């Protein structure tokens, strides 16, 4: 993908980020060098991640190098000629689907064709292999010749990419985000088919960054760290219960009503045993109306405490934007503007890659 069209986008970005000076100048220089001095998104990305994380020992590999792809020719040849991955992964998905939603679905051929600015899927149509949305097509002999002479022009999709990574950089563990770990569960059988070692798959840590302003708001609301992770309705109900001056809950009255209802049901059945179903129906309606009344009382209490509840919503939206994790929405640049490279140092020193726990970093004033 060509970077030549990105100058206008970067100019608009820098205007949004604020006035020149400090960390913005450093960020602007890094992004400009990455995206305006490199011809492709791939080269720009390699420069960017090296500029940000190179000091930690990060190694960047370009998987489209011909020699890396050559090490994977046997799998790609089998995929083109026999389409082995499709039935294997489909069967694995079928085994898992009772308790698991598939994250990635295989295609009959799980390879793209790359050339110049082109990246399109390959489909087999009879005795011809065609590159989708182009006039490029190959016979079997032509396709095998192209693969042998230019393996870098064939790119595995999500189904075959994991095996490619393990073929060129074998390891004992793969540490990934939630989405990556989820789809790797589908791939074990295809690893076994090609006799490629399937590593231990581990979920990396997720991180929440709490600013001093957010920590102050949390303290004002009297919320613990565990409270923040509760769903919104439970948290609001808990907050109102703890801070309301009025008794809006009906638990005690509900028990008393339940006792009365059971006595009424018993009396009705003593008169005529066939009244059981009628009594149950009436009592169900009464219980429902009691619940409706409590919900109305809760809404009335919410209106009285609207200001505090808005603060809870503000805090939750900041720490869980769009109801998800910060890492899914927020970009490193806004933190870099405030803290510069120190931001990465804090993350690097705090993260425990093998710890099965959520990491919360609370920034001090």
For range 169-195, the mean pLDDT:
91
Res 269: pLDDT: 80
Q: Compute the mean pLDDT over every residue in the chain, rounded to the nearest whole number.
A: 89
Decide: 113 and 131 in contact? Cβ < 8 Å.
Answer: yes
Q: Which of 36, 56, 76 is the last residue of a domain?
A: 56
Q: Structural domain tally of the chain?
A: 3
In a domain, 223, yes or no: no
Q: Of 132, 130, 156, whose CA–CA distance to 143 is shortest?
A: 130
DSSP characters for 270-305? HH-GGGHHHHHHHHHHHHHHHHHHHHHHHHHHHHHT
Q: Estimate to the nearest angstrom the gap between the alpha carbon of 169 and the chain centroid.
A: 25
| Pairing between β-strand 173-176 and β-strand 200-203 as defined by DSSP bridges | parallel
Same-domain check for residues 126 and 181: yes
Q: Would you say 248 and 303 are in contact if contact means Cβ atoms under 8 Å apart?
A: no
Residue 34: burial class (beta carbons within 10 Å; 0-12, 13-18, 19+) = buried
Six token digits for residue 196: 């490629």
Cα(181)–Cα(136) distance, integer angstroms: 35
Q: Which two tokens stand for residue 89?
A: 């992964």
- Is it the case that residue 136 has pLDDT exceeding 90? yes
State the DSSP H helix or E strand holding residue 308, giving kind and residue range, or none if neither.
helix 306-319
Reply yes or no on whether the pLDDT at 108 is more than 60: yes
Tens digit of pLDDT for each residue in 55-64?
Answer: 999 988 888 8
Mean pLDDT of the 285-306 span = 74
CB-CB contact of 211 with 314 (8 Å) = no
* Type and span of the H or E element at 144: helix 140-149
User: Does residue 345 lie in a domain region?
Assistant: no
Same domain, yes or no, for 153 and 102? yes
* Predicted local distance difference test score (pLDDT) of residue 138: 97
Residue 101's contacts (CB-CB under 8 Å, 6 or more residues apart) are none
pLDDT tens digits, 77-93: 999 999 999 999 999 98
pLDDT at 285: 84
Tokens representing 136 are 């490029």
Evaluate whether residue 348 is within a structural domain: no
N residues, the chain: 365
Work out the pLDDT band at 125, boundaries 50, 70, 90: very high
Percentage of the chain beyond pLDDT 90 is: 57
The model's confidence at residue 51, banded by pLDDT at 50, 70 and 90, is very high
Chain segment 235-284, per-residue pLDDT in tens: 888 887 776 655 555 566 667 777 777 787 788 787 777 878 887 888 88
Tell me which DSSP letter residue 206 carries.
Answer: P
Same domain, 99 and 143: yes
Residue 76 and residue 41 share a domain: no
Report residue 200: phi and psi, to 5°. -65, 130
Over residues 4-8, mean pLDDT: 90
Quote the strand ranges of the chain, DSSP E: 111-115, 118-125, 128-131, 137-138, 154-156, 173-176, 200-203, 207-210, 359-362
pLDDT at res. 354: 86
Q: Which domain holds residue 250?
A: 245-304
The sheet carrying 111-115 orders its strands as: 137-138, 128-131, 118-125, 111-115, 154-156
Specify the pTM: 0.75
Q: Which of 171-175, 229-233, 235-239, 273-277 has the lowest mean pLDDT?
A: 273-277
Same domain? 195 vs 71: yes
In a domain, 141, yes or no: yes
Instruction: Output the DSSP codes for 39-64.
Output: SBHHHHHHHHHHHHHGGGT-----TT
Of 178, 200, 222, the residue at which a domain comes to its end is: 200
pLDDT at position 276, please? 80
**Mean per-residue pLDDT, 11-37:** 90
Report the pLDDT averaged over residues 147-154: 96
* Residue 217: its H or E element: helix 212-221
Distance, in Å, from the CA atom of 343 to the CA atom of 337, rounded to the nearest integer, reads: 10
- Same domain for 177 and 109, yes or no, is yes
């Amino acid at each position: 993908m060509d970077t030549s069209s990105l100058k206008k986008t970067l100019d608009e970005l820098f205007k949004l980020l604020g006035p020149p000076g400090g960390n913005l100048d450093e960020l602007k220089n890094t992004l400009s060098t990455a995206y305006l001095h490199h011809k492709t998104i791939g080269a720009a990305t390699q420069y960017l991640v090296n500029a940000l994380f190179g000091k930690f020992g990060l190694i960047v590999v370009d998987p489209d190098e011909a020699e890396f792809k050559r090490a994977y020719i046997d799998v790609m040849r089998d995929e083109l000629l026999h389409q082995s991955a499709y039935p294997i992964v489909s069967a694995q998905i079928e085994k898992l689907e009772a308790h698991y939603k598939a994250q990635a679905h295989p295609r009959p051929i799980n390879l793209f064709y790359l050339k110049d600015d082109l990246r399109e899927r390959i489909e087999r149509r009879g005795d011809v292999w065609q590159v989708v949305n182009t006039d490029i097509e190959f016979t079997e002999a032509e396709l095998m010749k192209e693969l042998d002479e230019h393996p870098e022009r064939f790119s595995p999709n999500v189904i075959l990419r994991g095996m490619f990574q393990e073929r060129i950089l074998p390891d004992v563990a793969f540490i990934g985000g939630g989405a990556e770990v989820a789809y790797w569960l589908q791939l074990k059988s295809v690893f076994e088919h090609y006799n490629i070692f399937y590593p231990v798959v581990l979920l990396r840590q997720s991180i929440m960054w709490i600013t001093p302003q957010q920590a102050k708001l949390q303290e004002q609301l009297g919320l613990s760290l565990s409270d923040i992770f509760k769903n919104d309705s439970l948290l609001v109900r808990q907050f109102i219960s703890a801070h309301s001056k009025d008794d809006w809950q009906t638990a005690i009255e509900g028990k008393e009503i339940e006792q009365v209802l059971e006595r009424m049901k018993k009396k009705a059945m003593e008169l005529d045993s066939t009244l059981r179903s009628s009594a149950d129906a009436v009592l169900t309606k009464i219980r429902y109306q009691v619940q409706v009344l409590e919900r109305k009382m809760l809404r009335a209490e919410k209106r009285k405490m609207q200001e505090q509840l808005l603060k809870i919503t503000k805090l939750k939206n900041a720490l869980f934007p769009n109801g998800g994790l910060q890492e899914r929405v927020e970009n490193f640049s806004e933190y870099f503007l405030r803290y510069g490279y120190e931001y990465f140092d804090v993350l690097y020193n705090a993260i425990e890659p093998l710890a099965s726990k959520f990491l919360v970093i609370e920034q001090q004033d």
